Amino acid sequence: MKITSRKLNISHLTANEEALVRSEMALEIKDKSDYAGALAVMRPIWKGVGEYPQVQELYPSTAAEVLLCAGILTGWAGSKEGTENAQEIAKNLISESITFYESMGDSRKVAAARAEIAYCYWREGAYNEARIMLTEALQKLSAGGPTTARALLKLATVEWSSGRYNAALELLTTHASVFEKVTNHTIKGNYHNELAIVLRNLGTADKKERYFKRALTEYGLADRHFKLARNVVFRADVKNNLGFLLFKTGRFKEAHGQLEQARRLTSSVRDRVGIAQIDDTRAQAFIAEKKFKEAEAVARNAVRILEKSGHQCLLADALVTQGIALVRLKRTEPAQFTFQKAIEVAHQVGALNKAGIAALTMIEELDELAPDALYAAYDRASEWLAKSQSQDLLLRLNAAARKVFASLREHRNDSGATMVADPIEAILNKPCDLQSEILKFEGSVIKRALAKANGSLTRAAALLSMSYQALAYILESRQKDLLNERTPIRRRSRRDTATASAEAEQS
């Protein structure tokens, strides 16, 4: 769905004036989440993500505006489309605009541009870098207005994404007057939406109903402003958030109604990443309703889309949801693999709070984790979540610690070890049978491949770069313990065999 914009009347303008008008209008259209429209406006001077704007003949002040606009659109569109290296390209373009602004001594524009670079870091999951840059930018944007408001919203997003909900709430309430004076409905809608997200998370963490009631009010205000702004994508985001809050409070029918509306709005603008986020919420609602098959199917679809999009933080969230659904379906091996993948994905982009939540959830959900895996998961989770302000997370960590120590104690008792055994025994080299160790390693690799392939021998063989027949022979000859890990063998009838032979002869 393309959002109609006002017609450009530029026949009387110079090249510099035209470039400024196009940049200003493109960003206005971007606020309506219409990337195609924004790109169409910029096309005469910028061909799109990955291309360099035509600024060689422009004044430095104009070139700076064009580069900043191209950088903002690159980061935003790259995030939506999952374009590879989009955030890095965006940062480079915006950095070039900063060079021009600095040469002109425009400190306010420099600060605004750095806030946009900070948001690129946030999209990549680099929360600390984003927080530092936004804090520094806001020190030079104290006059208020839309630019200050946008930077404040970006910092609030970084704070709650890091689990620092109280910091985000203080930021939004302290600067409420800035948003009251702004006339832009998109900015006002974003303010109420951000405030609702923070209140919802605080209500979940501290079990306070008043936070939920305030969040419902804020979501309503956000939707009203986005409707006035005619912003379909942001309205869908609000309805997704509202659906999440409703299912958390047990209002499942209302929740699914909001989520269906969100999905319909998102589909109308062909935002696949947005659809995946909504599906992740739907899967969580199904889990709460104990509809685990539906939850796993919906979560799997969300993971499939996000794997192609490059949205690593969103992917980590969806993998955790899928892992929970798999556990509830008693599919422990694929569940453990999925949780570990969530940890790895989040860790790779520096989103340590999400990696910690994935590790913590794995401890909570899986009762069959080996003691060493259990201990390692808790060790990482406790470190990565150490700075969280969420009381709920701290309680979960305490419960996980009790589970880990109970498991370690039981393991010591089962193995005949005592609490006072010499700990040096754990690190001494011990003689081993090379052949048995090779078989053990082979078994662990095949077991992991089967888990990743959901038991399909054909897919597992492809993952292991071997033929179906070779893998089947290994299972039946020396890894018989893994036969139960594969899907049941489908015996073909004589008719199927004859048909296959005939087809082979014709080919």
pLDDT per residue rounded down to tens, the chain (507 residues): 344 445 666 778 899 999 999 999 999 888 877 878 898 999 999 998 889 999 999 999 999 999 999 999 999 877 766 566 888 999 999 999 999 999 999 999 999 999 999 999 988 878 889 999 999 999 998 778 999 999 999 999 999 888 888 999 999 999 999 999 999 999 999 999 999 999 988 887 666 788 888 999 999 999 999 999 888 889 999 999 999 999 988 999 999 999 999 999 999 888 888 899 999 999 999 999 999 999 999 999 999 999 887 778 889 999 999 999 999 999 999 999 999 999 988 888 777 888 899 999 999 999 988 888 888 888 888 888 887 656 677 888 989 998 888 887 776 665 554 443 433 232 233 555 656 767 777 888 888 889 888 888 888 888 888 888 888 888 888 888 888 888 776 544 545 444 544 444 454
User: Where are the domains positioned within the chain?
Assistant: 438-494
Which amino acid appears at position 369 of this protein?
L
Closest CA to 477 of 469, 485, 466: 469
**Residues 291 and 275 sit within 8 Å (Cβ to Cβ):** no
Distance CA 224, CA 202 (A): 23
Backbone angles phi, psi at 321, to 5 degrees: -60, -45
| Helix pair 352-365, 332-348: axis angle to 10 deg | 170
Inter-axis angle of helices 185-206 and 232-248, nearest 10: 20
Q: Where do we find the tokens 């005619």?
A: 230
94 to each of 22, 29, 82, 84, 88, how far by Cα in Å?
17, 19, 19, 17, 10
